[in-house]
Each structure stands twice: as C-alpha cells, then as structure tokens.
Structure 1
Amino acid sequence: MARHKEFEINEVLDKAMFLFWTQGYEKTSMQQLVDTMGIHRRSIYDTFGDKHALFIQALQRYKSLQAERLQLLIEKQAPVKELMRRFLTTMVDNKDFPKGCMMVNSGVELGILDPEVSTFVENGYTQTEQYLRELLLIGQNNGEIKADVDTEFLAHYFMNAWLGLRAMVKTTADQQKLNGIIDTTLRILD
C-alpha cells in the first residue's frame, strides 16, 4: 500500500529554494536539505530526484514566483516610470528574501559548468526581458515613452541594470548608492 505524502510539495520546495538561494548549489549538502525541508532523505529522492533535480525544480519555482510578481506589476494601473522604479527596487528594498537573485547566483556559480542551468537562466532572463518590453510598450501606447524609442533595446538596458543591482545588493548596504543608481537608470525614460 502506497503512503500518502505528509508534506505540501511547494512548501518544502520553497524551503529548498531559500537554502539554495542563500548558499548556492555547491555549498548546500543533502543533509542540510533534509534538515531545512523537514522531510526524510528518501522522501526528497522519491519526490524530487537527486540534489541536481531538486535544484532545477527550486529554480523553476523561483522563476514562476518571479513571473507572478512581474505579471502583477504589468497589470497595475500606474505610470510606467513608477512601475519600472518598483521593478528595480524589488531586490534593493526586500528584507524578507536572501540578498541578490537566485537566478543570477546560479548563473554565476554554475553557468559555465552546467549547460542545463545555463539554458534555464538564459531562458529566465529572456522571459523577464519580455515582461519589461511589454511594460515599456504599454508606456509607449500611453504616451509616457516616446514612440521612436526601441522598446526591445530599452528592455535589454533595464534587464542589465536590474541584474547589476541584484548582484550589487550582495556587496553593499549603502541604500543611498543603490537608490542613486536606480534614479540614474530611470532617467533614460525622461
């Protein structure tokens, strides 16, 4: 007779996601995952597979949560410049999550060594750029952004700024510096 799972999959996956996000893939041991997730090692293997498979699922969970936040941002009825500011400040102001970005961290740590992670991170970046472009097109249609501006190029620009901020928050606590970078980045919309 098969046993039913005594845990909620997304709840324990979130715990793994936060551990990988905080420590990275290499520094996270299976024992730490067992302790953090609060389930047996066998349950981890039966539900998620090996450590690498669990890591990929944690990245997928991170990507889907991020996509939800970006979609909510796009749906807000606010000036695009204000929405772009919110987008850029998500990592700077957020005290409830580990510093930096799990996607950036994973790309830096494993991108060259692990083609699956590299492809996943690249696809995640592309998806974020698509959300940004959609937001910028809304601004263009509303007359907030000049009609002759290349929104695809501008999406690349904001993605680059966002990635830089996501890396920088790991090395500085200087809010004034980070806010100055955001203010300078947003001037391109003037």
Structure 2
Amino acid sequence: MPRTKEFRPDEALDAAMHLFWRKGYGATSMRDLLESMSIGRGSFYDTFGDKHALFLSALDRFENARASWVIETLESSGLNGIEEVFRRTVEGLVSFEPRRGCLLANTAVELAPYDPEVAGRISAYVRRTEGAFEGALIRAREAGEISKEDPKPLARFLVTNLHGLRVLARAGVERRTLEDAARVALQALRS
C-alpha cells in the first residue's frame, strides 16, 4: 500500500516558487528547497522530479498566480486597462523588500539564454502579453484614445517597458524611477 503524502504539494510548490523568486534558480540549493518546502528528499523527487522540473512548475505557477492578471486586465479594455497594468505593476514591484522583481523577467535574464525549455516558456508568456496589449491598443484606437498607428509595434514597446520595469525593480531602483518610466511609456501612446 502506497504511503500517503505528509505534505501538501501545492503548498510546497508555492514555497519553492517564492524561494526561486527571491534567490533565483542558480542560487537556490536543494537544501534550501527541502527546508523551504518542508519535505524530505524522497518526497521531493517522487512528487516534483528534479530541481529543473520543479522550477518549470514554479514558473507556470507564478504565471497563473501572479502574472495572469495582466492578460485578464487587458482582454476587455483599452487605454484604461493599459494604464492599470502599469500602475499595478509598479505597486506590486515595490511591495517587496528586498525587491524581487518578477520571476518571469528574472528568469529571462538568468536562464533563458542557456535553457531552451525556459526560453520557450518565457517567449510564450511574452507573446501572450504582447497579444493582450495589441488587443487593448486596437480597442483604444477604435475609441479614439490613441493615434492610428499600427498596434503591433506599440504592443512590443509596452511589453519591453513592462519587463524593463521588472528588471529595474529587481535591481532595487526607487519607486519614483519606476513611476517615471511607466508614465513616459504611457505618454508615448498618446503622441
């Protein structure tokens, strides 16, 4: 008869996600993971596979739990939704001390150049975000809120700025700098 798990896998995955978010993949040891997740080595491997497999699950968890709101906010909105995304992003980025940035952006910098599986996940997230921005820009253009420019390059511009804010936050820049960068990005839409 198989033993029952003495831990909750979802809670352990959340703990791993937060640890990777704080420390990054490379700086997180197996010992760190086991302590943070409050599980033994056997349970870890039986439930999550290896560190890399756990990390991929943590990335997916982060996107679902912490980043999917961006797409949801943009799906049925125009310029107001875009402004809301930038406002809430800055708010979220400054809510942690020390600054964590965004697990997806941190991972893009740390691992994507060397790990094709991670790069694929990050690229898919970026494409989804770009598509959501493009839809919001089309609605904003139809409502006369922005100029008649092609929304695809503008969506790419917004994604680049959004991820730039996340990287700057991880580096510990002050809130005012993040707010200034977001404000200028939004002003560029109206010119």
Q: Which amino acid letter does the alignment assign opposite residue 36 of structure 2?
A: T
SS at match of 1:121: helix
User: How far off is 1:98 after superposition?
Assistant: 5.1
Partner residue, 1:125 = 126
SS at match of 1:131: helix
Unaligned segments of structure 2, at least 5 residues: none
1:1-190 to structure 2, matched below 5 A, reads 1-74=1-74, 79-86=80-87, 88-95=89-96, 99-146=100-147, 148-190=148-190
- How many correspondences in the alignment? 189
Unaligned segments of structure 1, at least 5 residues: none
Shift of the 77–108 alpha-carbon distance from structure 1 to 2, 3 Å rule, reads closer
1:136-189: CA deviation from partner (whole Å, max 9, x where unpaired): 22322333223x221111110001111111111122342222211111111112
Shift of the 80–107 alpha-carbon distance from structure 1 to 2, 3 Å rule, reads closer
For the residues of structure 1 that align with 2:54 and 2:36, how far apart are their CA atoms? 13
User: How far off is 1:104 after superposition?
Assistant: 1.8
Q: Which amino acid letter does the alignment assign opposite residue 106 of structure 1?
A: T
Paired residues of 2:75 and 2:132 also in contact (CA < 8 A): no
Shift of the 70–105 alpha-carbon distance from structure 1 to 2, 3 Å rule, reads same
Deviating above 6 A after TM superposition, structure 1's stretches of 4 or more consecutive aligned residues are none
Paired residues of 2:90 and 2:175 also in contact (CA < 8 A): no
SS at match of 1:163: helix
Paired residues of 1:99 and 1:170 also in contact (CA < 8 A): yes
User: How far off is 1:81 after superposition?
Assistant: 5.0
For the residues of structure 2 that align with 1:54 and 1:81, how far apart are their CA atoms? 32
Paired residues of 1:18 and 1:98 also in contact (CA < 8 A): no
SS at match of 1:169: helix
TM-score, scaled to structure 1: 0.87
User: How far off is 1:55 after superposition?
Assistant: 0.7
